[in-house]
Structure 1
Amino acid sequence: MIPRATYRLQLTRDFPFAAAEDIVPYLAALGVSHVYASPITMARSGSTHGYDVIDPTRINPELGGESGFRSLAAALRARGMGIIIDIVPNHMGVAGGENPYWNDVLRLGPDSPYAGWFDIDWQSGPLVLPLLGATLTQAIEDGDIRLSAGNDPHLLLYGDQRLPLKPGSLEQEPDELRRLLDMQHYRLVHWRAANDLLNWRRFFSINDLAGLRIEDTAIFHATHRLYFDLFREGLIDGVRVDHVDGLSDPAAYCRSLRAAFDAIRSGPDRAYIVVEKILAADEPLSPDWGVDGTSGYDFMSDMTALLHDPSGEAPLRALWQNLDPEHGDPARVVLEARRDMLSWQFEGQLAGCAAAFAAIAGSARTADAALEAVTPAMIRRAIERLLWVFPVYRTYGDGRAAPMSDATVRERAWNAVQPHLPPGEAEVARHILDWLGGTGPGDADCAAEAVRRFQQLSAPIAAKGVEDTAFYRYAPLLSANDVGSDPERFALSPEEFHRRVQARAEVFPHAMLATATHDHKRGEDVRARLAVLSAVPRLWEEAVGRWSRMADECGADVHPADRYQLFQTLFGAWPASADRALPEDFPGRISGWLEKSLREARLRSSWEQPEAGYEADARKLLHHLLAKPEFTRDMGAFVARLLPAARADSLVQTALKFTLPGMPDIYQGSELEDLSLVDPDNRRPVDYARRLRLLDEGDVAEGEKMALIQRLLRYRKDHPDLFALGSYRPLGPAGPRAEHIFAFERRHAGVRLCCAVMIRCGRILTEQGTLPPAQWWSDSRLEGKVDPMAAEMFASTPYFINLSE
């Protein structure tokens, strides 16, 4: 069943199924058709997100278990609503000794019936467990590892983590703990050694999450049986697939998922399936995967880029480059971030990938004499450099063949890698690309293994290099730095935005449209507010100058680039009312963001080795500014000055999300102003009592965004075919202000929706403090005689939406 609109809920033990059931009447009144839930399967105790699944065959008892979920589903069904759940096929949580499958592998090693579930290289020796905070010798001497007493012998690590023992290992009565440890199917090492020694695939660089071999049919069915049973019973209507690019073969997985769901129920009531996938700016999602589209990061990126005024790009970049010349070129910043992540965090995977390609090269030397001169070191260098510049998350070949769409990617990679290859080694990179395309020589099984390893490495390098590192090192405008964004793409023209909407509508008309997610770095209204700065870069530069002088008074030694990102974050998240004291939690929220920002950048601090002195200086600066009345008055006044433009951008973003082709998703709480920051800030509890009150009272003054959402959801309910099947046609604006109008129409069976919104009016809104006067629009019009003039369309709001039959 295709949802009309979804509402994303982050379920935790503090917000379980029962709490979700309590707000069903509110969600129904708002107008959504489906709850879109974070993972409901059993996760690590106390999980705040649910992605550290320890048992995919059971509904999490911390959330209310099966009975709680059934009660929630029944409450939704009673109101004609449904539920979509998030599923995690790529990995499982393995920390804390709670995962029964992982524990069985630790106990029995490769003989465990679950050994094949995880992507472990047993040929390299025992399974490496990077759990120690010191050397093994020191941990033993300190008593941090000991043998438990009683009838259930096991190892205790740091007093609370249980590690199972290999059967029979106690029968030899070892005279020392070290000898007992040497007998196990696992090897304890310092946590810092994980990047170099790990012999199993993890999720990105997280040692607590182990990759699953979901490509194995038996493992697929064992880990997905619960989802199919829930769909068979009508308890769920579909799924969102987490991190699909981490899988060995995403396309085959998605087709298997679709086939399994369709075997239960197909036709109009077939399962709704979307995948979490980051698409490059010009990368299409293959239409033959059998899914309904992505979970919306591509739309979120496009939407923000449409709001950005392209005239602000050059001055904002110049401002940033003056503050941090070393990180002034986005292409260079991304390249260096990718190199750092590959070198620092993925040595184990890189070594395995290089060894796999060396093996296929060895098998192919009789077929291609040129490979006789290729050494393992050359192969490693070629792989490294390709990973530095790979233009997308990954390709989708299997070592024997590849989809046609991969050819363009390989050619782009070939062109991009040239400047980085050592003299005389270009052909080695060409061989790697040929194997990725399924056209290289040698043993087909070796090729399949090598290609799998490359593809499961290129995706995390892209994610860690760009989103989790480069976006904290390069920040002319932070609204341009979010999941799915391209650091080299600042703004999107209306024509290009139309083209991307049409392309999505043609192939994936029901793709999810998101403007906020559990992974976003800034809430949708923080981004909308920051986007205004692209229209007033000189005004912003003046404010930064004032605040910098105030910061200098603090005496804290904080890099100008870090101060600049702090100013942007304070501006983006500052409470809208300038005449009230800051909320009590505001300093702590910003401090949490500040710590994460510094450590993710890995320039002046890091997660691996926090620089306590520098972080203390950064916090000192923050608290100095927040305690300085001159700063808080100035910041409040600056926010108030730009607020009309920011709220206009927010409403424009909302209007487009609920009227363009696709299925809109509301992230929890963002139906009102969403000034959240990166997780865990974006997962804070939502005040639903306030939202219900505003909805009941119809308080448009405080809840204009919510009122617009409710109105558009009513349209979607009353005219489902128009929004699900309706055509999409750009409406060309004309006149002197045409560049400030984005418009389109949708039609189906005699019903017509016309939508026009103001774009890039930040300067005039800031100067006027309200919407542009009628004369500003002059004789601007939309295409066609029946449409009103822009001045009439935008007389009271930054959007015009007309539905006629």
Structure 2
Amino acid sequence: MTVPRSTLRLQLHKDFTFDDAARQVDYMASLGISHAYLSPITTATSGSTHGYDTVDYTRVNPELGGEEGLKRLVDKLRAHEMGLIVDVVPNHMGVGGSENLWWMDILEWGRHAAHARYFDVDWHSPDPALRGKVLAPFLGAAYGEELQGGKIKLTFDPEDGRFKITYYSNTFPVSPLDYAAILQEHAPEMAQRFTGLSTQPADQPRADEARAALKEFTASEEGKKAIDTAIRAHSGDNPTGRDRLHRLLERQHYRLAWWRTAADEVNWRRFFDVSTLGGMRVERPEVFEASHALIFRLFTEGLIDGVRIDHVDGLAEPREYCQRLRNRLEELAAQRPENLQQPRTYFVVEKILARGEPVRDDWQIDGTTGYDFMNDVGALLHDPRGAQPLAQNWAELSGRPAEFDVEAKAARRKILAENLSAELDRAARALHRIARDTPTTRDFTFSSLKRVAAELVVHFPVYRIYPIGGQRSAEDERFFAQAYEGAKAALAPADHAILERIAQWLGGPGGDEPVEEKPRERLLDRNGRERPVSAFQNPPASASGSNSSGSHRRNAQTLFSQLTSPVAAKAVEDTACYRYGRLISRNEVGADPGEFSLSVDLFHEGNQERAARFPNAMLTTATHDHKRGEDVRARIAALSEIPDEWAATLKSWSTLNTPHRRILGDADGDKTAWAPGAAAEAMLYQTLVGCWPPTLSPDDEAGVKELAERVSAWQLKAMREAKLRTSWFAPDEAYENACRDFLFDILAPQRRDGFLGELPAFVARIARTGAINSFQQTLLRLTSPGVPDLYQGTELWDFSLVDPDNRRPVDFEQRRAWLADGEAQGAPSEQLQNWRDGRVKLGIVRRALALRAHAQSLFAQGSYIPLKVEGEHADSVIAFARHAGSAYAVVIATRLADSLLAENDSGLPLVDAAHWEDTAVILPEALASRALFDWLSPNAPKADGQRLFMRDALASMPVALLMEEGVPRV
């Protein structure tokens, strides 16, 4: 149980607990899984469905069953010789309610709180109203409106003797320094106990003693009456009480504010733009230890075997964090139970990689969680010949840009201006501090620095860079240079000198050098007098003045990196991907929709690099964060093979459904604007084509309605994320309702002779190609170098949409029963006749995982050998071998199969043997003229020399997993 052989990701919440997971362990073992892989187990906000809003790092979540429930799960896993990997969230905590005691501490005591340095708070805000305070943007409307309406109230909790501010279900502590003023008129003796308090740590125990006395006092009738009177004196029901309450609120260490103020004024780091998730300063040793203490103890006790780190790019120093975590895990490994000792702890990170961006070797990790592989295999499914006509058709139909990069840059500008402007301000202020440190840059204004920094962010091609000792590495420089050149082209020449300086301050050459003033060029004015030269005209070569400290530069580098990362996520994944619709199968987390396809050669190169550098990285094709299920993407990818037919279908459907459009007009005064609009309508059709269940009949009214509800939830989220005619920030409910009505109209039972009849007919047209794509990506994930990860439930067809749809309950009982049936009935190929119900996919998963268990070293340490394909339809095959010692496994998959299926009358997702003609895979010489056994079918194809013909290898299944005869079957 050192390195996982395979993992299965489970999403835990109050309705699927440790005990529920334990009941599936025998099923997972039968499937061939070696490690359960759990969503976060630390205590999260009550009712959390995902666990990423941790409120207490020190306890196993009681809603999941607590530590005892975890132990019961682990006991079940150990009984099946399985391990456990857990998701760890070091970047942020949930701060939206009152459950996070660390957050409550800083709201109560401000910068002198015991946990003040745990959160990434700017206590020195340039806004006087926020200096020494924390913005609390949790009001549903403007502060004055909520105060006037009596929604903000002073209350008293007799259980712990504390005054609190309540706002609906939210509570905020009142500083003990204000208790004296609250109590003075009504309980002067109690007030005296709080008089003279300060926020200094030495005074805080005194406050606890005073609160204990207050608690005892309020247990009496006299005390209750005094407290009630004090509360009424601060009531918002009358002007005097409202004024007192307002003045009390103004004295707190937080400023209550409307949630909309966060984008412009928040003075603490958020997770992306989510104002209920506060950024942690895990780079501080005490924060690192406090936030990981539970995980370390559970690891030492043998309850967990490995970790997955969430959103590593949000941290100030990802490299240092990973190195520190690796060292701590290896130190603790020696203290684990003897039977669980392991030479190296499994440790992967969630990391989004751009094409050509490497995972850094010095992080000491086992790799990523697999978004890079998901991107590779997803792009491999697409026919490059469809890229240009589909882009052209999208632009003509939607009126949107044909190139994704145009959408992405526009979205970046919007996110910087509207969602993350406070974070941009903070980074610009850090640069401004550096500029003020030296005479040659002191006149670089805050506005100019902000403008230039924003342009760098807009053009940044990766999530972030990772300077070492304040200097960009060669890898960093490669990507930073792209941003630099893009920004330079976009900026006015007057800003180029500022751009050059910022580039140096952010880790460029000369960034750590003291300034050496150049001899100044003498310029004369019209009267012959010497006039000064600006820094723009004669900038020095070095980046920083002699008074500028390295800490200022490193702070600027950190803030800049913690800006580029969320901008990439929010602008690309959560905005542009919902605006651009060439084919939404490429609009996925970790993917670049501008990269339409990937060649077989480049896919092989990626696998070879992974085998050489990170052979234990995770391989995934579905996650809790995906925007559409793996089989939705696989089916939509089939459209890349028929771009002209798809274009004609789109136009036909749009014409057919024109009567169901809603004319609403828009904000620009266009009275002919309609809902959902051309772009949203086209993306809706792609979604319906992609997620229509293979077994759903248009006559099934209940089934169609259920699908419409699911698609409607996706549609609402997609439109708000696109931020065009509606958004989360300013919802246009009339437009949203009109879009929902359009969807339900076109799927209404009376449309069976119209669109509702044509939709499943077209789905049937491409469903076999989509299924072959699904089999291809499934087998590649299970056999490529790395650790295959299975997201819960995706062993059957995964026609889910974006969360929460992809986190729906999984019918494990159905899967358990079908797995048993599959074993009884033999090879997966025997289920191909029933391909629409997904059992054949389940069979592929089980058989491939069984082979990995049987030949562990072959897949764990074996080399990766791309195999050449020759013949008439060589482009429709991908093949490679895994090799270790004398053992080989040969993997073959059908791809780009639509044209080969055109004359197929069998109705199966399988190319007729005769259609392959002379297409053959060239096997390694060691396998020449050898009979091979297919783990997925009864086939035992024999090579003709080194040539293995597809008419033999793929006669029973569109994919094959071959080994030499004599290898026992499982």
TM-score normalised by the chain length of structure 1: 0.97
| Residue identity in the other structure for 2:58 | T
Q: What is the CA–CA distance in structure 1 between the aligned matches of 2:903 and 2:35, rounded to whole Å? A: 41
Aligned partners of 2:163 and 2:173 also within 8 Å: yes
Separation (CA, whole Å) in 1 of partners of 2:89 and 2:16? 20
The Cα shift of 1:767 comes to: 4.9
Is residue 688 of structure 1 aligned with residue 812 of structure 2? yes
Alignment equivalent of 2:757, drawn from 633, 636, 645: 633
Please state how far the C-alpha of 1:136 moved relative to its aligned partner: 2.0
Residue of 702, 710, 716 corresponding to 2:846: 710
* 1:323 paired residue among 391, 394, 397: 397
Which residue of structure 1 aligns with residue 494 of structure 2? Answer: 424
Question: Residue in 1 aligned with 2:612?
Answer: 506
Superposition deviation, residue 585 in structure 1: 2.4
User: Which amino acid in the other structure matches residue 298 of structure 1?
Assistant: D
User: Alpha-carbon deviation of 1:599?
Assistant: 0.3
Q: Which moved more, 1:699-708 or 1:630-639?
A: 699-708
Distance 1:471 1:455 in 2: 22
SS of 1:533's equivalent? helix
Contact map agreement 2:136 2:257 (CA 8 A) in 1: yes
CA offsets, 1:245-283, max 9 Å, x none? 000000100001110001122785421111001000110
| Cα distance in structure 2, aligned partners of 1:377 and 1:65 | 51
Matching residue within 622, 626, 641 for 1:520: 626
- How is 1:273-312 mapped onto 2 (pairs within 5 angstroms)? 273-312=347-386
Task: Give the aligned residue type for 1:34.
Answer: H
Aligned residue number for residue 155 of structure 1: 164
State the alpha-carbon separation in 2 of the partners of residues 107 and 345 from structure 1.
28
Q: How many Å separate the matches in 2 of 1:758 and 1:418?
A: 46
Aligned 8 A contact 1:339 1:388 in 2: yes
Q: Is the 8 A contact 1:645 1:766 kept in 2?
A: no
Q: How does 1:284-683 map to 2 (within 5 A)?
A: 284-365=358-439, 369=440, 371-397=441-467, 400-437=470-507, 439-440=510-511, 441=544, 442-556=548-662, 557-558=674-675, 559-579=677-697, 581=700, 582=703, 584-627=705-748, 628-629=751-752, 630-683=754-807
Does residue 961 of structure 2 align to residue 801 of structure 1? Answer: yes
Contact 1:511–1:662 under 8 Å retained in 2? yes
Q: Which moved more, 1:625-634 or 1:717-726?
A: 625-634
CA contact (8 A) 1:262 1:271 kept: yes
- Contact 2:464–2:564, Cα closer than 8 Å, also in 1: yes
2:173 match = 164
2:720 and 2:565 map into 1 onto residues whose CA distance is 21
- Distance (whole Å) between structure 2 residues aligned to residue 450 and residue 633 of structure 1: 58
Post-superposition CA distance 1:468-511 (Å, at most 9, x none): 00001111101010001112100000011111111111110010
Would you say the 8 A contact 1:513–1:657 is kept in 2? yes
Task: Give 1:773's match in structure 2, choosing from 894, 899, 912.
Answer: 912
Secondary structure of the 1:570 match is helix
Moved more, 37-46 or 309-318: 309-318
CA distance, structure 2, for counterparts of residue 518 and residue 599 of structure 1: 20
Task: Report matched runs for 1:24-423 at 5 Å.
Answer: 24-124=25-125, 125=131, 126-149=133-156, 151=158, 152-173=161-182, 176-265=244-333, 268-365=342-439, 369=440, 371-397=441-467, 400-423=470-493
Larger radius of gyration: 2
Q: Which amino acid aligns with 2:961?
A: I
Question: Offset at 1:337?
Answer: 0.2
How far apart, in 2, do the equivalents of 1:27 and 1:583 lie?
Answer: 32
CA 514–302 in structure 1, closer or farther in 2 if over 3 Å, else same: same
Q: Call closer, same or farther: CA 1:62–1:400 in 2, change over 3 Å.
A: same
**1:728 counterpart SS class:** strand
- For residue 459 of structure 2, what is the amino acid of its counterpart? V
1:752-791 correspondence to structure 2 within 5 Å: 752-768=888-904, 769-770=907-908, 771-784=910-923, 785-791=945-951
Number of residue-to-residue matches in the alignment: 801
Classify the secondary structure of the residue corresponding to 1:458: helix
Q: Would the aligned equivalents of 1:364 and 1:443 in 2 still touch at CA under 8 Å?
A: no
Q: Secondary structure at the match of 1:148?
A: strand
2-structure distance, mates of 1:636, 1:406: 48
Q: Secondary structure at the match of 1:101?
A: helix
For the pair 1:734 / 2:808, whether they are aligned, the reply is: no
CA contact (8 A) 1:278 1:393 kept: yes
Give the superposition deviation at 1:578. 4.7
SS at match of 1:585: helix
Q: Distance in 2 between matches of 1:401 and 1:252?
A: 15
- Identify unmatched segments of 5+ residues in structure 1: none
Deviation of the 1:301 alpha carbon: 0.8
Instruction: Please list the CA deviations of residues 400-446 of structure 1 after superposition, one character each: whole Å capped at 9, or x if unmatched.
Output: 23333111112122222222112221121122222222541232011
Q: Secondary structure at the match of 2:141?
A: coil
What letter matches 2:849 in structure 1?
A: L
SS in structure 2 of the partner of residue 743 of structure 1: strand
Q: 2:55 is paired with a residue of what secondary structure? A: strand
**Partners of 2:842 and 2:861 in 1: how far apart?**
25
Deviates more, 1:283-292 or 1:165-174: 165-174
Letter of the 2:917 counterpart: S
1:399–1:449 Cα contact (<8 Å) kept: no
Distance in 2 (alpha carbons) for counterparts of 1:97 and 1:322: 51
Structure 1 residue 168: deviation in Å? 2.3
Displacement of 1:150 in angstroms is 5.3
Q: Structure 2 counterpart of 1:501, which letter?
A: N
Q: Which has the higher contact order (CA 8 A, sep 6+)?
A: 1
Change (3 A) 1:216 1:619: same
The secondary structure found in structure 1 opposite 2:493 is coil
Q: Evaluate the alpha carbon distance shift between residue 80 and residue 274 of structure 1 in structure 2; reply closer, same or farther with a 3 A threshold.
A: same
3-state SS of the aligned residue for 1:172?
A: helix
Q: Which residue of 1 aligns with 2:210?
A: none
Q: CA deviation at 1:134?
A: 2.5
Mapped to 2, the partners of 1:411 and 1:76 lie a distance apart of: 49
Distance in 1 separating the partners of 2:368 and 2:497 = 36
Shift of 1:17: 0.3
Cα-Cα RMSD: 1.5
Check the 8 A contact 1:390/1:458 in 2, yes or no. yes
Whether the 8 Å CA contact 2:407–2:579 is kept in 1: the answer is: yes
1:249–1:398 Cα contact (<8 Å) kept: no
Which SS does the other structure have where 2:479 is aligned?
A: helix
- Are 2:9 and 2:790, in contact at CA under 8 Å, matched by a contact in 1? yes
CA displacement, residues 176-206 of structure 1 (integer Å, 9 cap, x when unaligned): 1011101100001111111111000000000
164 and 178 in structure 1: CA distance in 2 versus 1, 3 angstrom threshold: same
Matched residue SS, 1:620: helix
Describe the superposition over 1:770-797 as per-residue Cα deviations: whole angstroms up to 9, x where unpaired. Answer: 4333332221111243342011111121
